[in-house]
Amino acid sequence: MPARLANITEDVTGQATIIGQQIRARRKELKVGTAAAAEAAGMSRVTWYRIEQGEPSVTFAAYLSAISVLGMKLKVVAPAASTPEDEAEEPHKAGWIPARIALADYPQLKQLAWQLQGVEHLSPREALGIYERNWRHLDLDALMPHEQSLIDALRLAFADEVRDV
């Protein structure tokens, strides 16, 4: 019986299941039997079955052998860098304020802070001050959702200091 792994998350289990399903689909597409595929990969039919079921306790090498025998390739993809738009769309990030606010990420703020030559980042308090002092110059229709989220979060964080605008 295979050893139980302690820290298997649902994400890991889900990925193993997807890989197993792809291996099974490719084997069926090639019209290769389980026993023949397992023998070609140098493993037991039971191990091959467990791979197709997506069991995460099967060794990585066994998964790679199965992938190789079927003429498949494994590709690891790094996650894309998140953008301010992504952060604003994620509900768990609502109300989040970066420690340093990059002007390049907030077009309206950058426009309002035109006089700050050579400055690329502001503190949250500085950003809120610029928004407050120049509110009348903001183009509310052009305000991107992530920038509106930043303004809302700044107002919430510094509620006792915010002027009515």
Mean pLDDT of all residues in 56-74: 92
Residue of 139, 147, 67 whose CA lies nearest to 105: 147
Beta-ladder partners of 90: none
3 state DSSP class of 165: coil
- Specify the pLDDT at position 92: 39
Answer yes or no: do 65 and 115 share one domain.
no
Spell out the residues 6+ positions from residue 26 whose beta carbon is closer than 8 angstroms to its own.
Answer: 70, 71, 72
- Is there a single domain that holds both residue 95 and residue 143? yes
Both 41 and 103 in one domain: the answer is no
Residue 152 and residue 116 in one domain: yes
Q: How much of the chain, in percent, has pLDDT values that exceed 70?
A: 83
**Domain count of the fold of the chain:** 2
Q: What's the pLDDT at 162? A: 52
Residues 88 and 148 both lie in one domain: yes
Are 103 and 133 within one domain? yes
Query: Does residue 36 register a pLDDT over 90?
Result: yes
- How many whole angstroms separate alpha carbon 135 and alpha carbon 61? 59
Specify the DSSP element, H or E, that contains 121. Answer: strand 121-122
Q: pTM to 2 decimals? A: 0.48
Q: Which is more confident, 90 or 58?
A: 58
Same domain, 124 and 65: no
Question: Would 77 be classed as within a structural domain?
Answer: no
Domain, as residue range, for 143? 84-157
**Is 50 exceeded by the pLDDT of residue 11?**
yes
Asked whether residue 90 falls in the same domain as residue 148, the answer is yes
For residue 75, being part of any structural domain is answered with: no
- Are residue 100 and residue 149 in the same domain, yes or no? yes
Structure tokens, 138: 């903001």
CATH code where residue 18 lies: 1.10.260.40
Query: Both tokens of residue 21?
Result: 């399903």
